[in-house]
Structure 1
Amino acid sequence: MYLTLDIGGTFIKHALMDAAGSIIEKGKIPTPKTDAINHVLMGKNNPATKKQLEELKQILFSIIDNQELTNIKGIAVSCPGTIDVESGVIYNGGSFPFLHGINLVKILEDRYGKDVYVENDGKCAALAELWLGSVKDVKDSVILVLGTGVGGGIILNRKLHRGVNFSAGEVSYVMSEIDPITKEVQFVGLECSAVEMVKKISQIKQLEDSTNGKAVFEYINQQDKEAMKVFDDYCIQIASLVLNMHYILDPELIAIGGGISVQPILVERIQWAINEITKKNPLHVTKPKVVACHFQNDANLYGALYHFFTSKEK
């Protein structure tokens, strides 16, 4: 058995999995709330961020301590941030800035004496699709995970491309627009945020819960005019990103993941948006093939395990 951990903004998920990728059992624990703004303003050594790190470590320890460790061959972790997969050090930390500079591999290996491998969450989602998902039979592909921002990964010749600084595929930081005078920019991570799209529609429809994606997509699937206006604008932004990625990398497939990818209308409207853009801009000659990812909520668990296996082989 292998223990897989997915450190997310809402939950820390865990699963016992076998070598074939079957989940034997799984669970989840709420993630401690973080305060990224105070971390940046006050520095990583302030007591609040030290407390957050300790809280996160204790949750991870409680999950692992509750396992029958003699039956576990190793621990695979999916985590936000830029991950140096060679050393196990986390940089920036994404939603968990207090993890910056922390060597999670060493912390867990020293405590449990097991092999531990850590990979970025977006790249884990891409690895899950490469191993057992929508791009398993494809040589070159791009996986875009739509959530708070846009994560994912680039697959070249059936291998994850990380880049010299381990940041390849971090498309949230791609600039969609820049003011040449002020130098202020618009980032893809905000323009293509599924969370922000859901919030906008929630506010328009006066929903009590601004994070209720299920209720928002009920309006979208009913072709509500107000909801569709926001959703179509959103799909235009995604289509623009898809076209840009396609011109840069020319992959066989671009797979769309994240919680909203379970909705068939998402890929349908992205394809519609691509057609609308190319009709209005005749210089476009590429025709990207867009599909939905196979994995949704458990993608990072599968990807973390696949990263474990491929790292052990080196």
Structure 2
Amino acid sequence: MSILAVDIGGTSVKYALWQAESLQNPGNFQTPDSWSALQEELLRVLGEQAKQSPEEIEAVTISVPGAVDSEAGVIGGYSAISYIHHFPFVTELEAALGKPVFIENDANCAGLAEAYYGAAKDAQSSVALIIGSGVGGAVILERQLIKGNSLFGGEFGYMLTEKGHTLSELASPVHAAKRYAKAMALAEAIDGQQLFALAEKGDERAQKEVAQIHRALAIGIYNICLVVDPEVVCIGGGISTRSDFLEPVKEQLAQLQAQQHAEDQVITVKICEFQNDANLVGAVANYHLRKDQ
């Protein structure tokens, strides 16, 4: 079985062929500036991959930004790729490629990757929090993706935490770095990696921001688990690759449980196994979930 997996991002489009339970022949191209150009590029990639595949490519499965209505084949919401939204995306792309096309939100794909092939593969229920410029996520119950009535299932970044701030505002290293730069009146912006480096060197303001990230994530996880009670919580995104990241979050989480006398609830938090390839792998999982529906 061969499937073309695609991850459409704001600056680049990644792709690979899924064969023998693994990603093969990976590649990428710059995200085009129009819908017609994107279709042309995907048709080119499909042709090239077909030549390298020993089997016929059955379908094209895609990870995209936005609020995805998988049944209607429409991408709602908004993103940096404005031309992919609010029209019959799947219908038009199937006509262009001559293959069945499946789509799902990128954070949901990341969660599916962990649920089916990664850190939560042995669990029946899991949630994923993907941390970047905001906090996205996914809810998996009975190994099914739960998107909700308005497609807001897993949009953890909107959750209110301390003093009316959202989880995205307090748990994102991008937002934390901006707060630091403003507080220190820096002439130039810094990124999350620089913020953590400053904290390691003893910068008290940077340490305060890093501690806030840990606490906000712990609050978010605590609240999510009271509603969903999953077997596994997976944390992904660039920040999660730090070896010193997970333990402070677990410590804050244990403190919250103790304060609220909720120690009996077992909360298992793991780092996502898939990072750069998560959306591609999750797109494949989405194909398997939806192909017979």
Asked whether the two chains share a fold, i.e. TM above 0.5, the reply is: yes
Residue 68 of structure 1 aligns with which residue? Answer: 50
- Equivalent pair of 2:64/2:106 in contact (CA under 8 Å): yes
Cα drift, residue 297 of structure 1 = 0.9
Residue 148 of structure 1 aligns with which residue? Answer: 133
Residue 29 of structure 2 aligns with which residue? Answer: 29
Distance 2:238 2:10 in 1: 13
- Equivalent pair of 1:10/1:30 in contact (CA under 8 Å): yes
The verdict on how the C-alpha distance between 1:245 and 1:29 changes in structure 2, with shifts beyond 3 A counting, is same
Q: Percent sequence identity over matched residues?
A: 33
Q: 1:271-294: CA deviations, max 9, x gaps?
A: 122234345x34444452211111
**Which residues of 2 match residues 209-248 of structure 1 at below 5 A?**
210-211=190-191, 213-221=192-200, 224-248=203-227
The verdict on how the C-alpha distance between 1:231 and 1:19 changes in structure 2, with shifts beyond 3 A counting, is same
SS at structure 2 position matched to 1:313: coil
State the Cα RMSD in Å.
2.7
1:261 to 240, 245, 266: 240
Residue 119 of structure 2 aligns with which residue? Answer: 134
Q: What TM-score, normalized by structure 2, do the two folds share?
A: 0.86
Cα drift, residue 174 of structure 1 = 2.5
Cα drift, residue 135 of structure 1 = 0.4
- Equivalent pair of 2:196/2:210 in contact (CA under 8 Å): no
The verdict on how the C-alpha distance between 1:57 and 1:111 changes in structure 2, with shifts beyond 3 A counting, is closer
Residue 17 of structure 2 aligns with which residue? Answer: 16
Distance 1:205 1:135 in 2: 43
- Count of matched residue positions in the alignment of Structure 1 and Structure 2: 287
Distance 2:187 2:4 in 1: 38
* Structure 2 unaligned spans of 5+: none
Residue 307 of structure 1 aligns with which residue? Answer: 286
2:94 to 109, 118, 129: 109
Matching of residue 298 in structure 1 with residue 277 in structure 2:
yes
Q: 1:231-263: CA deviations, max 9, x gaps?
A: 111111111100000111111211111121111
Distance 2:36 2:86 in 1: 14
1:243 partner amino acid: Y
2:85 to 92, 100, 120: 100
* Structure 1 unaligned spans of 5+: 33-50, 179-184
**Which residues of 2 match residues 275-294 of structure 1 at below 5 A?**
275-279=254-258, 281-285=259-263, 286-294=265-273
Distance 1:283 1:62 in 2: 58
